[in-house]
A = this chain, B = another copy of it.
Amino acid sequence: MIPVGEAMEKLFSLVEPVEIEQIDLADACGRVLAEPVAARRDQPPFPASSMDGYAIKAVEAMRDAQFRVVGESAAGRRFEGRVGPGQAVRIFTGAPVPEGADHVVIQEDVRRDGALISLLDEPGDKDNIRPAGTDFRVGATLEAPRRLGPSDIALLAAMNIPLVPVRRQPEIALISTGDELVQPGEDPGPDQIMVSNTYGLKAMLDLAGASVRMLPIARDTAASLRTAFELARGADLVVTIGGASVGDYDLVGDVAAELGMEQSFYKVAMRPGKPLMAGHISGSAMVGLPGNPVSALVCGEVFLRPMLNKMLGLGASAPARLQAPLSQPLLANGPREHYMRATLDAAGIHAFDRQDSSLLSVLTKANALLVRPPHDSAREVGEMVDYIPL
């Protein structure tokens, strides 16, 4: 058994960032920007009014001053002339400020009388003009790597970037193994249970940016496993779930070895989820997760999501850990790093009493994994502990 940190390093060494592809901006939210992109124009591209009002010369702006309105500048249709002394141009929010003008008086501060306006007040400090490039200049970049959110998408649109260079979605093939498993919707025999871990992992990894294929359940025969690995061919990462322990029916390691897997390691000193192996097989990275659904999902958070992030060009880093005070005491920990299902609230963090790795009903109530180092001593209420938010 190797420590979690060492396992993480070996897992990172199995994967590399995937290729870059150009996709439509409208589809890019949630994707990972792969290269810096540069604005193709200034925003605004011209000095723009930030108010509805009248564009005049600032030196003429004073209470009771009068101006003749000589034209209009609307968003999309500027006033083509020049504003001379004693002249004003009707202007709307976002419209180009005409040549010769360097101040916009807001319409509430003006009395209009036919083609004449007069100012009702002293002008304020603000000129109500956004200079060209106020938001960004041509060539200004949005840096990469970066997972694109809604405001990034709006910024890229404003920069006139219709196609965005992103990492393609890494392909992950999921193989659940076991004679006891049936698909939801089927009628299980008395000895059977529903497959659940691939459903949870697919949801998790799709959300995190992968393209996940759920393969048919592999039976506990070498032939069935070989077929499953064949179907997984071409994936960036093949994940088996179950069948990686030492029971007589745990065939995954044997079949993978027969298919040429170079095993990177076997078993990690963690709870839940001891059985975990990894290596390369037929050009894909391969990870074998334990079959208990909670173990599989915790391993997904702790190992698969960081591997996926590396494939997406986001670097190789273990899940970020935060700290919170304990709201209930903890007993001493054993020799394995323990990822306890926990609840974080205003009072602090506390682990659930029931930590058995078969309890999905507990995992769905958890909003954090409380992380305990190997051989951690007993902890009192108020002591700070590490956690990974879920």
Contacts and interface: CB of A to CB of B under 8 A. Distances in A.
Nearest to A184: B162
A246 B107 CA distance: 10
Contacts of A162: 183-185
A46 interface: yes
B52 A193 contact: no
A62 to B, nearest CB: 25
Contacts of A41: 188, 194
A194 B253 CA distance: 55
Nearest to A146: B364
Interface residues of A, number: 91
B196 A78 contact: no
B247 A359 contact: no
A313 interface: no
A293 B158 contact: yes
A179 B149 contact: no
B200 A74 contact: no
Interface string A185-205: 100101111111101111110
Interface of A: 25-26, 28-30, 41, 43-46, 48, 50, 52, 74-78, 90, 92-96, 130, 134-136, 140, 142, 148-163, 178-181, 183-185, 188, 190-197, 199-204, 206-207, 214, 220, 245-249, 291-293, 297, 300, 356, 358-361, 363-364, 366, 390
